[in-house]
Chain A
């Protein structure tokens, strides 16, 4: 995950307030605390991850993202993060709205289902793609809302979300000129920096 952290930290302002939705073991926030001196809160549901987050010295709140974020005030954070969690949410569109209400900007990373490997897998085998990167069978996967880069671009347009930056990389977090040219076909992971604010409100 380290390379992804490096891409994310470029979008984080030093000393800013950062909310991480599904913070896992807290290592991303821990990294941002050390590199950007952020004031952090992580939300997490898994008991082991919560304890690891405490061990990592980050503020962590046990909260189920699927039950909404009504308890967070609008504009109470600079940046809201959603790293590799979008596809596991029961109502991703609503959560994206909430993210960009709570934070002046948001960063979302997700696996791109439009990648040529997924397409080839489905095309040749006629079954839901299973890989080292996405190892679950359709019936036991936590990833219930896969999307492609094109799908997500459409959602942003529908919701009048401004895409500040879009980075597309492979599973090793390496980019290339070809991936920039054909992101939906070649990219494996998409990293979006988004906002609904304008000008210096971002």
Chain B
């Protein structure tokens, strides 16, 4: 796909920065006195301002969810599979808002921004931000855009957690909460993987206790390793077997070699990269480390670890949703072992207990956690059908 073929693409988009002067009181007790949010929008806001959808990004996402920044771009935004004219999140019907969250590294204020007080990079001094803080800043953006109520708030993974937080913190400001491949809180295993990622960054000699930018360097090795370990948790065993098992083995014509494709056709009997999967992880890590800020990665994983909206409600998630006035759609994927279907069902059951209107789908998909970003037909169809209903409701309400 390229920009020259834009029939189902939002085409060229230009991000816009919004400055906010009103201090933001963070969950940690700290205060962010002023900040910028980098935002992209797709489609047109209607006269009643009722057709707006907020898209929340996951761990390594940003505001660039759809379309292209320039004709030279090889890849579109991270959720181009879902956002565009005639796509599931149909920009012919909806006005889609996507932003880079606070603490990010794609234009919104974060650790790689300049701290006005010290006139140097925030680095590790950037306050820890939580999902609740993000949603609060998203509310301010919403007010700035003059939107009274989101038709829907949608997100996958960490984005899906922001969706849940919206329904809890601002229950009357959204019509539908669509949370995909999420969890009500992280498990010990989830936190463990995050800690390995963090430790690999902080133990890199170039980390300089987070002040690497002042030292004109960055913890490339640590960030690479963090991404490599993270990436494994996004894929399923079956997805890896399929992706790296294309070669037919000498032993039979079944073609199933358990994903053990070799890089050069033979084993090196050394400590070299022998298998395709190794080379792939190196490539993913390398590419990621060139485009992502290490302090942001640390912050994002902390936001994941800290997410647990039930803590304010005696550990009862149902109570957290008591005031939610929106309808819910939860979607999970069969081979997702990072946030498996059981975790989505926990959310569904809490919503049922709270007497909320909820729909839930468990999509059969081989791709693991990554499936939420991919054009899995049943998933895309269901999302499209659901959002068409949302749009019909809006139209019925307006008439």
Contact = CB atoms under 8 A, between A and B. Distances in A.
B386 interface: yes
Contacts of B389: 54-55, 57
Contacts of B355: 17, 76
B279 interface: no
| Most-contacted residue by chain B among A39, A47, A62 (CB, 10 A) | A62
B19 interface: no
B352 A41 contact: yes
A71 B362 contact: no
Given A17-B355, A50-B361, 16 more contacts: A41-B357, A41-B358, A50-B382, A51-B378, A51-B385, A54-B359, A54-B385, A59-B358, A60-B360, A61-B358, A61-B359, A61-B360, A62-B361, A71-B348, A73-B353, A76-B353
B359 A60 contact: yes
Given A54-B386, A54-B389, A59 B327 contact: yes
Nearest to B378: A47
A54 B357 contact: no
Q: Interface range on chain A: under 10, 10 to 19, 20 to 34, or 35 or more?
A: 10 to 19
Interface in B354-379: 355, 357-362, 364, 378
Contacts of A57: 389, 392
Given A50-B382, A51-B378, A76-B352, A71 B345 contact: yes
Interface in A20-73: 39, 41, 47, 50-51, 54-55, 57, 59-63, 71-73
Interface of B: 327, 345, 348-349, 352-353, 355, 357-362, 364, 378, 381-382, 385-386, 389, 392
Interface of A: 17, 39, 41, 47, 50-51, 54-55, 57, 59-63, 71-73, 76
A47 B349 CA distance: 20
A51 B352 CA distance: 20
Contacts of A71: 345, 348-349, 352
A62 B362 CA distance: 7
Given A51-B381, A51-B382, A59 B359 contact: yes
Contacts of B392: 57
Given A41-B352, A76-B352, A76-B355, A62 B385 contact: no
Main secondary structure of the interface of B (DSSP, over half): helix
Given A71-B352, A72-B352, A73-B353, A55 B359 contact: no
Contacts of B357: 39, 41, 59
A118 to B, nearest CB: 37
Contacts of B360: 60-63
A17 B349 CA distance: 17
A73 B318 CA distance: 12
A57 B385 CA distance: 9
B354 to A, nearest CB: 10
A71 B355 CA distance: 12
A168 to B, nearest CB: 34
A60 B345 CA distance: 13
Contact of A73 (B352, B364, B382): B352
B385 A55 contact: yes
A41 B351 CA distance: 12
A54 B385 CA distance: 7
11 contacts: A17-B355, A39-B357, A50-B361, A51-B385, A59-B327, A61-B358, A61-B360, A62-B361, A63-B360, A71-B349, A76-B353
Contacts of B353: 73, 76
A102 to B, nearest CB: 10
Nearest to B355: A76
A50 B378 CA distance: 10
Nearest to A42: B359
